[in-house]
């Protein structure tokens, strides 16, 4: 494809995306599609001869788009948001067009240096400790996801706990990893990948009201493990757990980690974005104890997946854990010691120029625009929680410091817990079947709970309001069914 063909088709694809965004409110959030339907509509093999882009766009409309869950839909309230925005897509387009590889500083200097700068900007914007800046001993890097950030934190923690023997000799002792009962599944996965086995995971009890990790329970477990001969290597504290956005008490946990000499990784994948607002930074109290910290601009900061921002307080520890230098990657800049080679900060060797989309987003919205986006989400969630509380059939089951509200229908008098859970499952099923919005669920204190997660820049007050009206309506139908 020549540059001029690309220009022509590029305009057409930009138009396709713009039209798609305009069409979102008219589309059902989730598709009515059975497993295998998309496969069945596609040919058995690629064409022998090339086809025009128009043919592909037609199939995109006919086969692909109707079988998508529309994560950018204003009624998408599932999981956590994974929002993108116009400037993010533009930055990604430049990234794809340049097609440079940032594995080494030398393989594209601007790709590395813009990333370092943008991560320093972000650290400032979130009010993170000075230790995380590249101008000190730390530094930031873009990972694909918080899962990968947790993995590399685990590896650096093992290297530290083993005094470097891990690198050469592998796992020489029984290392253990700690997080709350609501820590993300990626923590268990990282421990497994690192060769510790699921048995090395310690799910520390949470407070039944706040759903946050209990520091006393953490200390007890560390003591017991030490006494049993295990070597505690890593504690992962969460700011904004996946289930309820609970905030683990960082300061208390950090003090314990320091006392026991354990690496503290802070997983703020979703809620870290909130720290762009000074009034929401209380959730980060004690973050100066962290050895590493991550959050996902691709969740709640208007930047398309994949973009996890990961910082370490001491980059030398991370690099020591991950570096491997074959002959074909040797170069003068690396040997001078004056550059960052991000390949040593991550699992893969190659890397895209992902800093571009973050740079486009930060410049298009500015600090004010990003704060306005976060505040709008928090305010809508607070308003929704108020409506839930005002309806005696419902309860809000956990604090909602950010833009997620966990709620459920209260159990009917005399009903057992399982019946109560099934009623909530049915509520969620009917709600999602409407196609107007999409929510997901979790369990809190063992009970089935609905999650409404707000974050899309497309979501306005009326979308949340009509969702609440539909919830109330279905609740009425369920009551009528129970009475009838």
Can you point out the beta strands (E) in 256-368? 263-267, 292-295, 308-312
What's the rounded Cα separation, in Å, for the pair 319 and 145?
19
Query: DSSP code of 183?
Result: S
What's the rounded Cα separation, in Å, for the pair 415 and 410?
10
By beta-carbon proximity to its own copies, the closer residue of 369 and 479 is: 369
3-state secondary structure of 132: helix
**Dihedrals φ, ψ of 312, to 5°?**
-125, 150
Sequence-ordered alpha helix ranges (H) in 162-287:
165-169, 185-193, 215-227, 250-260
By beta-carbon proximity to its own copies, the closer residue of 295 and 387 is: 295
Q: How far is the CB of 29 from its own copies (least distance, A)?
A: 11
By beta-carbon proximity to its own copies, the closer residue of 100 and 382 is: 100
Pairing mode, strands 231-238 and 201-204: unpaired
Q: How far is the CB of 127 from its own copies (least distance, A)?
A: 13
Q: How far is the CB of 373 from its own copies (least distance, A)?
A: 11
Among 282, 348, 356, which residue's Cα sits nearest to residue 114? 356
Beta carbons within 10 angstroms of residue 51's beta carbon? 10
By beta-carbon proximity to its own copies, the closer residue of 10 and 399 is: 10
Q: How far is the CB of 468 from its own copies (least distance, A)?
A: 22
Among 208, 300, 293, which residue's Cα sits nearest to residue 253? 293
Instruction: List 236's β-bridge partners, or say none.
Output: 179, 265
By the 8 A CB rule, do 417 and 411 touch? Answer: yes
By beta-carbon proximity to its own copies, the closer residue of 387 and 407 is: 407
Cis peptide bond N-terminal to 256, omega within 30: no
Q: How far is the CB of 289 from its own copies (least distance, A)?
A: 25
By the 8 A CB rule, do 310 and 294 touch? Answer: yes
User: Exposed, middle or buried, 287 (CB in 10 Å: 0-12/13-18/19+)?
Assistant: buried
By beta-carbon proximity to its own copies, the closer residue of 299 and 387 is: 299
Q: How far is the CB of 252 from its own copies (least distance, A)?
A: 25
Q: How far is the CB of 413 from its own copies (least distance, A)?
A: 27
Beta carbons within 10 angstroms of residue 394's beta carbon? 20
By beta-carbon proximity to its own copies, the closer residue of 86 and 435 is: 86
By beta-carbon proximity to its own copies, the closer residue of 6 and 208 is: 6
Q: How far is the CB of 107 from its own copies (least distance, A)?
A: 5
What's the rounded Cα separation, in Å, for the pair 454 and 81?
7
Q: How far is the CB of 65 from its own copies (least distance, A)?
A: 8
Q: Which two tokens stand for residue 205?
A: 């009890």
By beta-carbon proximity to its own copies, the closer residue of 76 and 394 is: 76
């Amino acid at each position: 494809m020549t540059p001029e063909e690309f220009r022509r088709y590029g305009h057409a694809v930009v138009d396709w995306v713009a039209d798609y965004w305009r069409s979102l409110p008219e589309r059902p959030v989730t598709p009515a599609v059975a497993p295998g339907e998309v496969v069945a509509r596609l040919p058995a093999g690629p064409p022998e001869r090339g086809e025009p882009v128009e043919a592909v766009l037609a199939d995109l409309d006919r086969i692909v788009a109707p079988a998508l869950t529309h994560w950018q839909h204003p009624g998408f309230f599932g999981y956590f948001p994974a929002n993108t925005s116009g400037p993010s897509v533009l930055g990604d387009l430049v990234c794809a067009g340049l097609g440079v590889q940032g594995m080494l500083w030398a393989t594209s200097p601007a790709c590395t240096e813009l990333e370092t700068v943008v991560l320093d900007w972000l650290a400032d914007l979130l009010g993170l400790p000075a230790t995380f800046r590249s101008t000190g001993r730390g530094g930031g890097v873009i990972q694909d996801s918080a899962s990968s950030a947790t993995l590399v934190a685990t590896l650096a923690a093992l290297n530290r706990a083993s005094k470097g023997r891990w690198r050469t000799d592998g796992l020489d002792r029984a290392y253990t990893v700690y997080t709350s009962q609501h820590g993300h599944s990626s923590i268990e996965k990282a421990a497994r990948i690192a060769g510790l086995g699921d048995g090395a995971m310690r799910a520390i009890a949470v407070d039944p009201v706040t759903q946050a990790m209990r520091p006393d329970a953490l200390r007890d477990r560390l003591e017991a493990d030490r006494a049993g001969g295990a070597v505690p290597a890593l504690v992962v504290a969460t700011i904004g757990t996946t289930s309820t956005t609970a905030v683990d008490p960082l300061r208390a946990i950090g003090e314990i980690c320091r006392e026991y000499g354990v690496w503290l990784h802070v997983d703020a994948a979703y809620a870290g974005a909130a720290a762009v607002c000074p009034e929401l930074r209380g959730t980060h109290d004690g973050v100066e104890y962290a050895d590493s910290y991550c959050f996902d601009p691709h969740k709640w900061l208007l930047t398309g997946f994949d973009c996890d921002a990961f910082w370490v307080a001491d980059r030398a520890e991370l690099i020591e854990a991950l570096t491997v230098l074959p002959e074909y990657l040797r170069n003068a800049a690396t040997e001078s010691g004056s550059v960052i080679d991000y390949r040593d900060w991550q699992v893969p060797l190659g890397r895209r120029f992902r800093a571009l989309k973050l740079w486009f987003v930060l410049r298009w919205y500015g600090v004010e625009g990003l704060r306005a986006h976060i505040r709008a989400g928090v305010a809508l969630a607070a308003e929704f929680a108020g409506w839930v509380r005002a309806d005696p059939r419902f309860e809000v089951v956990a604090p909602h410091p950010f833009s997620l509200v966990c709620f459920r229908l209260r159990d009917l008098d005399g009903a057992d817990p399982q019946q109560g859970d099934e009623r909530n499952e049915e509520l969620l099923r009917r709600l999602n079947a409407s196609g107007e919005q999409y929510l997901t669920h979790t369990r809190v204190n063992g009970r089935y709970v609905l999650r409404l997660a707000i974050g899309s820049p497309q979501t306005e007050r009326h979308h949340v309001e009509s969702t609440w009206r539909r919830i109330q309506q279905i609740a009425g139908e369920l009551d009528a069914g129970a009475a009838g």
